[in-house]
Amino acid sequence: MPPLVIPTPRLDLVLQTPDEVFAWVESLPPDVRAEVSPAWVDRVRSTPEGDPWSLGYTVKERAGQASVGGCAFKGPPDSDGMVELAYGIDEEYQGRGYATEAAAALAEFAFADERVRIVRAHTKPENGPSARVLEKCGFTKLGEVVDPEDGLVWRWERRPEVAGDPTDGPGR
């Protein structure tokens, strides 16, 4: 089975295998590896290959196929139809709009699944660039929450646009 690829104008989001996910986690510096969710790692251990909701995506530039970062969902849609996404672009590739492109593509992929009614993301309050990414992608900041793993974060959500309803657009 070929890997799932989510194309964007300049990028390919390539679904990783469980082995690729674990190799990526092991490649992280210890301080960054410590921030990886233990619950997510446990879920990946029991995830079959090809699951777009639990395995991460490598973000690749289409032009040169360079790996520029990663993105993922933090699990399948829950009983409320909510999925959470996360993304990160390697420092040397930041400032080129890749995070915005990747986050928007993940949100659109999620909304193509009829179970998804809300796409959520969290940012650290001091992370202005990530907040701008979510604003550009149509997310609305709902306020501060305490995440059990990340501490104080800003919660962002986006809901699908409803055709013909001008009051219901991105982030409403």
pLDDT digits (tens, 9 = 90+) for 25-49: 898 889 888 888 888 788 888 988 8
Is the CB of residue 134 less than 8 Å from the CB of residue 123? yes
What pLDDT is stored for residue 33 in this prediction? 86
Which is more confident, 39 or 140? 140
And the tokens for 18? 């469980």
User: Percent of the chain at pLDDT above 90?
Assistant: 66
- Angle among Cα 97, 110, 51 to the nearest 5 degrees reads 105
And the tokens for 138? 């149509």
What pLDDT is stored for residue 37 in this prediction? 80
Say if residue 110's pLDDT is above 90: yes
Mean pLDDT calculated for residue range 101-105 = 97
And the tokens for 75? 């699990």
Comparing C-alpha atoms, which of 107, 161, 104, 110 is closest to residue 132? 104
Q: Which residues contact 166 (CB under 8 A, 6 or more apart)?
A: none
Which CATH code of 3.40.30.10, 3.40.630.30, 3.30.465.10, 3.30.360.10 fits the domain covering 5-158?
A: 3.40.630.30
How far apart are the C-alpha atoms of 28 and 77, rounded to whole Å?
27
Comparing C-alpha atoms, which of 98, 102, 97 is closest to residue 56? 102
- What is this structure's pTM? 0.86
Please report, for the chain, the start and end positions of each structural domain, with discontinuous segments joined by +.
Answer: 5-158
How far apart are the C-alpha atoms of 21 and 56, rounded to whole Å?
7
How far apart are the C-alpha atoms of 14 and 5, rounded to whole Å?
5
